[in-house]
Amino acid sequence: MLIHENYSLKELNTFHIDASAHYFVEVASLEDIQEILSDKKKSAAKKLILGGGSNLLFTKNVEGIVIKNNLKGISLVKEDKDYYYVKAGAGEVWHQLVMHCINNNYAGLENLSLIPGNVGASPMQNIGAYGTEIKDSFYELEAFHLNTKTVTTFNNADCKFGYRESVFKQELKNQFIITSVTFRLNKIPDFNISYGAVEAELEEMGINQLSIQAISKAVCNIRNSKLPNPAEIGNAGSFFKNPEIPQTLFLRLKNEFPTIVGYKLENGNIKLAAGWLIEQCGWKGKRVGDAGVHTLQALVLVNYANAKGNEIFDLSEKIMSSVKEKFGVELEREVNII
């Protein structure tokens, strides 16, 4: 196992920010992790666990050690009359896992097709799209504690899932390396086409008989038409969370801005479309140097060529400030800032 010094991370983050790691190592097994942490100097260093690099923005070089999680493997570990239980290594590419499940008729992840990143990040972020979140099909995960050097199993409740949140982004942040995730997937599909764009795309595709394959294809079509490919232009997908506000504030905003987009939540609050708010403030398609807002989706910030992380961060600050000034609504970043 080779430990690199002053290692470039440019090709390991989807923003393509040119940052470097003081130390960098790739791990492919639990034994690799244990070996790294047996080195007192490396064990004491500050650690950053890197997966697909699809949900972070480097604003500086990384001191300490970056550990690239490459634990692989997908297997059906058990089944009962209703469910398949599929276990995947944290280093597996997320979309490849989704395709594996679809090809085997394991239902539940189809709405999450084409989300960038690796499996290990999916429960950390409680990733979601088109009416579905990871928590809906999550069964358990295994994670290695960096200090006690023991493996712990977390069930759904243990993870404290919220909107793009989990215990691993809050009280347990930077304490664990997720090594595997197990999903509970339906034998009989429970199709979710509640999201209008999915239903419209299925109609456009001429689909008369619903299937998880058709829903996955529809989601891929929508994402490809709206979101830039990180391989072609640096980005991390949605940069901001959709804000949640009280219904009283929404009614006041609706009176002033009749076309405002909002969805009622079970708790009575209203979830706003952050992209709509940003677009109304005039940011869609705007470019400042090599940092910019995507021309088709205002929720996505992009690196056109050689933007520095701080330039993208500063752009996000200006966007947040203008939304606050115009609507009295505070945006929150979905992307992790390093």
135 and 84 within one domain = yes
pTM of the complete model: 0.86
The domain spanning residue 32 has which CATH number? 3.30.43.10
Condensed to tens digits (0 to 9), the pLDDT of residues 281-327 reads 999 999 999 999 999 999 999 999 999 999 999 999 999 999 999 99
Number of domains in the chain: 3
| Structural domain containing residue 324 | 234-337
253 within some domain: yes
Question: Residue 191: inside a domain, yes or no?
Answer: no
Whether residue 177 contacts residue 49, with contact meaning beta carbons closer than 8 Å, is answered with yes
Q: Is 213 among the domain residues? A: no
* Confidence band of 37 (pLDDT split at 50, 70, 90): confident
Please give the pLDDT value at position 2: 85
Residue 196: per-residue pLDDT = 77
- Work out the number of other CB atoms within 10 angstroms of the CB of residue 322: 17
Do residue 87 and residue 177 come from a single domain? yes
- 58 and 135 assigned to the same domain: no
User: Same domain for 246 and 300?
Assistant: yes
Domain with 139 in it: what CATH number? Answer: 3.30.465.10
Using a 10 angstrom Cβ sphere, with 0-12 exposed, 13-18 middle and 19 or more buried, the burial of residue 261 is middle
Question: Do both 263 and 328 map to the same domain?
Answer: yes
Q: Tell me if 227 is assigned to some domain.
A: no
pLDDT digits (tens, 9 = 90+) for 255-294: 999 999 888 888 889 999 999 999 999 999 999 999 999 9
Mean pLDDT of 43-55: 85
Residues catalogued as catalytic? 164, 238, 334
Domain boundary among 186, 210, 245: 186
Residues 81 and 182 in one domain: yes
Pick the last residue of a domain from 156, 186, 216: 186
Residues 157 and 239 in one domain: no
What is the distance between the alpha carbons of residues 190 and 279, in angstroms, rounded to a whole number? 34
Residue that is last in its domain, among 186, 217, 242: 186
**Among candidate residues 272, 330, 260, 334, the one with its CA nearest the CA of residue 301:** 334
